[in-house]
A = this chain, B = another copy of it.
Amino acid sequence: MIGHDSKKTYKAAIIGAGSGGLTMAVGLSNFGHDIVLIEGDKVGGDCTNVGCVPSKALLHAALVGEDNPLGWVRAKRDDLAQREDHEMEKHEKIHLVRGWAKLTPKSGDHHVVLVDGPNGQVEVHAENVIISGGSKPIVMPVEGLGAERVLTNENIFELESVPGTVVLVGGGAISIEMATAFGDLGSTVHIVELAGRLMGNEDPLVSSTMQEVFESRGMQVHLGTSIERFDEATQTAHLTNGATIADVDKVLIGIGRRPALGDLRLEAAGVETTKGGVVADTWGRTSVDGVYAVGDITGNTATTHGANSFARRTVRAIALPLPKVGDPRVIPNAVYSRPQIASVGLTVAEVDAMAAGGRKRYVKQLTDIDRGFTDDLEHGFIAVDVERFTGKILRAVIVGPSAAEMIGMFTIMIDHGIGLRKLFGTVHPYPSYSQAVGFLADEFATETFRSLPQEWFALTKAKIANRFKK
Closest to A406 in B: B405
Contact of A312 among B305, B405, B425 (CB under 8 A): B425
- A80's nearest neighbour on chain B, judged by CB, is B373
Stretch at the interface among A265-273, A351-359, A428-436: A428-436
Specify which of B312, B422, B429 is in contact with A333 (CB 8 Å cutoff): B429
Q: Closest residue to A59 on the B side, CB-wise?
A: B374
Interface size class of A (residues with CB under 8 A): 35 or more
Q: Are A437 and B416 in contact (CB under 8 A)?
A: no
Once the chains bind, are B422 and A437 in contact (CB under 8 Å)? Answer: no
Cβ contact within 8 Å between B422 and A329: no
- Interface-lining segment among A50-58, A192-200, A256-264, A292-300: A50-58
Interface presence of A309 (CB below 8 A): yes
Partner of A418, one of B408, B412, B428: B412
**Chain A 378-416 interface mask (CB, 8 Å, partner B; 1/0):** 000000000000000000000001101111110111011
Give the residues in chain B near A329, CB-CB below 8 Å.
425-427
**Main secondary structure on A side of the interface with B:** helix
Q: Which residues of B contact A433 (CB under 8 A)?
A: 405
CB distance from A347 to the nearest CB of B (A): 16
Residues of B within 8 Å of A375, CB to CB, are: 56, 60
A388 to chain B, nearest CB (A): 21
A308 within 8 A of B: yes
Residue from A312, A422, A426 with most neighbouring chain B CB atoms (10 Å): A426
Cα A416 to Cα B414 with chains together (Å)? 13
Of chain B, the residue at the smallest CB distance from A333 is: B429
**19 A–B contacts, CB within 8 A, in A order:** A60-B374, A60-B375, A64-B376, A76-B373, A80-B370, A303-B430, A305-B430, A305-B435, A308-B430, A329-B426, A330-B427, A332-B429, A402-B405, A406-B408, A408-B432, A408-B437, A411-B427, A412-B412, A416-B422
* Pairs of residues from A and B, 4 with the lowest C-beta to C-beta distance, nearest first: A334-B429, A402-B402, A56-B374, A304-B430
Given contacts A305-B430, A334-B432, A406-B406, 10 further A-B contacts (CB under 8 A): A53-B370, A59-B374, A60-B376, A303-B430, A329-B427, A402-B406, A408-B409, A408-B432, A408-B437, A416-B422
